[in-house]
Structure 1
Amino acid sequence: MTAHPISETVASLMPRARAELTELVAFRSVADPAQFPRSECEGAAAWVADALRAEGFQDVAALDTPDGTQSVYGLLPGPEGAPTVLLYAHYDVQPPLDEAAWVSPPFELTERDGRWYGRGAADCKGGFVMHLLALRALKANGGVPVSVKVIVEGSEEQGTGGLEQYAEAHPELLTADTIVIGDCGNFRVGLPTVTATLRGMTMVRVSVDTLEGNLHSGQFGGAAPDALAALIRVLDSLRAEDGSTTVDGLPADAEWDGLAYEEADFREDAKVLDGVGLIGGGSVADRIWARPAVTVLGIDCPPVVGATPSVQAGARALVSLRVPPGQDAAEATKLLTAHIEKHTPWGARVTVDQVGQGQAFRADTSSPAYTAMAEAMRIAYPGQEMQTAGMGGSIPLCNTLATLYPEAEMLLIGLSEPEARIHAVNESVSPQELERLSVAEAHFLANYARSQQA
C-alpha cells in the first residue's frame, strides 16, 4: 500500500521533532518557584512562542495569567469562511521526583529501547510538538484548511487555575468551532483512543497541631497527643477496609459502561508488585474513571534518618481527591473538609486549606468532530478503529472551555499511554505514537474542514 503524502511528510519530519523536543525538555519548567526558578518556565514559554512565530502564527503572546505563570497564544488564519480549531497543550511539567532513580537525566531527552525518555516528553511537551508536526504536514501538502488557534498552558500540573481565570476574563480569545486537547493518551500503544471523560480534582493541605512544641517521647509519650498520629488517623479514615475511598456524603458506587480495563492489564500497566492486591471494589474502569479517589500526595514529618525520640507537635499532609463526572468539585471539597474535621481525633486543632480545584468533564462523542477524528485515526492506524475511554486524571481547562463555548466540539487525544509513565520517574514517549498521532491530527483537520463545507 502506498503511504499517504501526509504520512510521508510526518515521517520525514521526525528527526526535527526529536531535536525540538530535546530543546523543550531541557527546560526544567516546573511551575513551582520553591523547586525551580521561574526563569525555567519563562524560557520554555519563549521557546514555544518562537516556534509559533516560525510557523507563521500571528498575535503570538506570552499571556500573564492570574496565578503568576504564562500561557502562550497564537493564531494561524485559514481560508475565508473556514472553521476555527483550538489546539491545546501545556509546557509545565511535574517535578522529576527522585532524580537519582532516573536511568538517564530527567531533563535530557534520551533514546532507549525505542522510546524517548525525559520529563514532559509525553506530558505534555510532546503534545505541542505533535501539533507542530500536524500543521507542518498540512502546509507541505496544500495548506492548512482551517483557522488554528494554539494555547500552551504554563501551570496545568499545579492546578492553580491561571489559564481558566484568564479565559473567563477574555472569553473571545479562545473561541473556536472545535477544540483538540493534546494532553491525554491512547489506551494502549497502537490503539487509537479519544478520551470522553475526565475526573475533576480538589487538592487540600491538612494541618494538625496538638502541642506548643515537640516533646521527649520517653518523658511525655503515652499521654501527650501526637499530631503525626492524629494526622495518620485522619488520613486512614478516608479509606474503607478494601481501600475504597470513603468521604462522608460523597457517592462512590458509579459504574463505567464503556471500554473495559482488564485487571491483569492494569496490574501490568501500574507495575503492581507480585502478591499485592488492588484496592477498591467494582471493575477497574469503575474505580479509575467513574468513582472518586483520594490520594495522600505528601506528608511533612521527620525523615527516618536523623529522627529524634519526639512526640510531634504538628504535622501536615497534601491530599488530592479525584472527582468523577456528575459530581461537583466544589461540593466534594466541602464534603472532604467536613470529613477531615469530623474524623480528627483527640480534639486536635485541624486546618484545611484548598490548594487547587478543577471540575470533571464529559465530551459529546456523537458530534461531527468525532466522526472526522475516527476517519483520521483509520488512516494513521491501519486496521484499527478509534476507541473511546475515560481518564482518571484532570484537565481543569476542559470544563472551563465547555462552559465558555457550549457549542464547541471537544476532542481529547495525546501521547500519555500507559508505557509513558507520566508523573513518575523515567517518563517517556513513543516516537511511533508521536508520528501516528501527528498524522491523525493532520487528517482530522482536513476532514473537519471538509465536513463543515458540506
Structure 2
Amino acid sequence: MTSEPSRPASVRDAATGGIPAALADLGALVRIPSVAFPGFDRAEVQRSAEAVKALAEGTGLFESVQIRDAAIPGTEERGMPAVLATRAARNGRPTILLYAHHDVQPVGDETLWDSPPFEPTVRDGRLYGRGAADDKAGVMVHIGALRALREALGDDLDLGVALFIEGEEEAGSRSFASFLADNADALRADVIVVADSGNWDAVTPALTVSLRGNARFTMTVCTLEHASHSGMFGGAVPDAMMATVRLLSTLWDEDGAVAVEGLTVRDAATPTTYTEQTLRDEAGLPEGVQPVGRDSILSRIWNKPSITVTGIDAPSVRNASNTLSPEISVVISARVAPGQAAGDAYQAIAAHLRAHAPFGAQLEFGDVDLGDGFLVDTSGWAVADARDSFRDGYGVEPVDLGVGGSIPFIADLVRTFPEAQILVTGVEDPHARAHSPNESLHLDTFRHALLAEALLLERLDARTL
C-alpha cells in the first residue's frame, strides 16, 4: 500500500513539472518590446499586459483579473497598463501580494548585443533577451508558482492572493502611488513579495534586507550670457564647462569617496567573502583601474552613499568649435544610504553644489526624482518562512544581502500597507546584466526560484492567522 505524497512534495512535483511551460511562456513575453519610456510604442506595453492577463487567467486561481491604469499625479496623463488579479482568503488563511513588472529597459546600442534583444536565445545555460531577467522572469516565477499550487492543492487552496504586475517600473513608476490608492482594498495583504531583486550568486538565494534610496536631478551651470570666442576671451572668462568640471570634482575626495556633508552612512556588518576580484568580475572592472572609496567593498555599495554623473548636455566632439560654452547641464544620480530620507540627501547635495560653485557660476536645479531606501524587519514569521523555502528550493543555505540599487516604490508600499511583511526576492544573479546589452537569466536560478516560491505559497496556505 502506497501513501499519498505530502502537500510540499506534491507542490514540488507540480513546480518542477511546470518549469518547461514557464520558460516557454517567458520566451513569449521577452518577444514583446514593452518599453514604457516616452517615445516608445505604448501599444507594445498594452500587448504585454494582455499577455500577462491571459497567463493569470490561465492559472484558474483568481476570482478577478483586470488590466488597470492610474493617473500620474500633477499631469493629465494616465500611467501604463498593469495587471491586477485577486482571490479572497478562506478559513483564516493569510493573503499574499505578488509583485513584478512587465515593462523593460530600452535596448540601447543594438550592435552591442550578441543576439537580437527581443529574440530569446539560450547560450551556455542562460536565456538572453531584454527583460529575460528584469523582470519578466519575476512575472513567470509568480505564474509558475501559482500554477503549481493550484495543480497540487486544487480546491483545498485557501490562501488569499493578489497579483500585481506593474507596467512602468523601469520608467519611474510615476502612477504607482495613485494605483495603490485606487486599489488599496484589492492589494491589501499580510505578506508582500517583490520579485525584482537578485541573489548572492547563481546558486545561492538571497533575501534583500536593505536597499539604498535615490536622488536624481538635473543641474544647469551658467557663466555667460552667450557663447564667445575662446581665442579672444579664453583665460579671462570662465566658460561653463570649466566651472562644471571644477564643481563636479568637489563631490568626491581623493579616494573617490563621496565628500558631501549631510549624507549619512548606515552602520552595518557585511560579509567578508566579497573580494576585489569578485567586484572586477561582476562589474567589468579591468585590471589597472582601481576601485574607489574606503572600507569593505560591500559597505561601499550597500550602506554608503554614492554620486554618479549619468548624463551631460554639452557640445559633442564632432561639433566642437573654439567657443566658450555659456551653459552646461548634467544629470546627477545619487544613491542614498538606507535609513536616510532621499529628500534630505538631495538638499545636502544641492547645498554643497551651491556652496562650491566656482567663479560665481549660476546654478539651476530641476527634474528632481526622489525615492527612499528600505530596511526589512527580519523578525517576522514571513521572513522565517521565506528562508525555509529558499533552503528547500535551492538546496543551499540562503543569505541576507543589501542592494546598492533602488526600488523606490517599496517606500510607497510601506506607507500604504504599514502592517504588511515585505519580502524582496528575485531571480537575477551578478552576471544578469540587467539594463545592459546582453541581459540574461541563469536558467537554473529560475528553476530554483520558481520552486522556492511555490513552497513558500504552500507554507502560507498551511498557516492560520
Report if TM-score (shorter chain) is over 0.5.
yes
Name the counterpart of 1:178: 191
Secondary structure, aligned partner of 2:163 = strand
Q: Which residue of 1 aligns with 2:309?
A: 296
Q: Measure the CA separation in 2 of the matches of 1:106 and 1:216.
A: 45
Q: Distance in 2 between matches of 1:403 and 1:47?
A: 30
Partner SS state of residue 330, structure 1: helix
| Closer/same/farther in 2, CA of residues 339 and 95 from structure 1, 3 Å limit | farther
Q: Which amino acid aligns with 1:46?
A: E
1:37 to 17, 41, 58: 41
Other-structure match for 1:357: 370
Partner of 2:31: 26
In structure 2, distance between residues paired with 1:310 and 1:22 = 51
Is the Cα–Cα contact under 8 Å of residues 127 and 414 in structure 1 kept in the other structure? yes
The answer on whether the counterparts of 1:84 and 1:146 sit within 8 Å (CA) in structure 2 is: yes
The aligned amino acid for 1:69 is: G
The alignment yields a C-alpha RMSD, in angstroms, of 2.1
- Name the aligned partner's letter for residue 163 of structure 2: V
- Find the counterpart in structure 2 of residue 69 from structure 1: 79
Q: 1:210 aligns with which of 223, 246, 263?
A: 223
Q: CA deviation at 1:411?
A: 0.7
Q: Could you say if the C-alpha distance between residues 79 and 98 of structure 1 is closer, same or farther in structure 2, counting changes exceeding 3 Å?
A: same
Deviations, residues 256-296 of structure 1 (Å, cap 9, x unaligned): 31434333222221121011111101111211111111111
The more displaced of 433-442 and 310-319 is 310-319
Alignment partners' CA distance in 1, 2:123 and 2:104: 21
Contact 1:31/1:69 (CA < 8 Å) preserved in 2? no
Distance 2:210 2:158 in 1: 29
Whether contact under 8 Å (1:73, 1:152) holds in the other structure is yes
| Most deviating of 93-102 and 126-135 | 93-102
Contact 1:63–1:73 (Cα < 8 Å) also in 2: no
Secondary structure of 1:135's match? helix
Given residue 240 of structure 1, which amino acid in structure 2 is its aligned partner?
A: D
Matching residue's letter, 2:191: T
Give the total of aligned pairs.
Answer: 449
Corresponding position: 1:309 with 2:315: no
Q: 1:300 to 1:195 in 2, by over 3 A?
A: same
Whether the aligned pair in 2 keeps the contact of 1:323 and 1:329 (CA below 8 Å) is yes
> Which stretch of the first structure deviates more once superposed, 138-147 or 173-182?
138-147
Q: Write out aligned runs for 1:177-196 (5 A).
A: 177-196=190-209
Cα distance in 2 for partners of 1:47, 1:213 equals 53
With over 3 angstroms needed to count, the CA separation of the structure-2 counterparts of 1:222 and 1:94, relative to structure 1, is farther
Deviations 1:283-330 (A, max 9, x none): 112111111111111111222234333222221111111112221111
Q: Any idea what SS the aligned residue of 1:414 has?
A: strand
Residue 112, structure 1, aligned to residue 123, structure 2:
yes
Which residue, out of 102, 110, 113, partners 2:113?
A: 102
1: CA distance, partners of 2:182 / 2:88: 23
1:54-453 → structure 2 map (5 Å cutoff): 54-56=58-60, 57=62, 58-66=64-72, 68-70=78-80, 71-143=82-154, 144-168=157-181, 170-252=183-265, 254-260=266-272, 261-382=274-395, 384-452=396-464
Q: Distance in 2 between matches of 1:375 and 1:312?
A: 60
Residues in 2 aligned to 1:161 and 1:131: alpha-carbon distance in whole angstroms: 24
Deviation of 1:65 after TM superposition, in Å, equals 3.8
Which range moves more in the overlay, 276-285 or 100-109?
Answer: 100-109
* AA matched with 1:17: A
TM-score (norm 1): 0.93
Letter in 2 for 1:359: D
Matches of 1:439 and 1:116 in 2, distance apart? 18
- Structure 2 unaligned segments of length 5 or more: list them: 1-5
8 A contact 1:196–1:412 mirrored in 2: yes
Q: Which runs of 5+ in 1 are unaligned?
A: none
Shift in CA distance, 59/44, structure 1 to aligned 2, threshold 3 Å: closer
After alignment, is 425-434 or 78-87 more displaced?
Answer: 78-87
- Amino acid corresponding to residue 203 of structure 2 in structure 1: G
Name whichever of 339-348 and 163-172 sits farther off: 163-172
Q: How does 1:3-18 map to 2 (within 5 A)?
A: 4-18=9-23
- CA shift at 1:389, angstroms? 0.7
Indicate if the aligned counterparts of 1:49 and 1:62 stay in contact, CA closer than 8 A. Answer: no
**Structure 2 counterpart of 1:29, one-letter code:** S
CA contact (8 A) 2:129 2:440 kept: yes
Whether the aligned pair in 1 keeps the contact of 2:428 and 2:442 (CA below 8 Å) is no
Would you say the 8 A contact 1:159–1:358 is kept in 2?
A: no
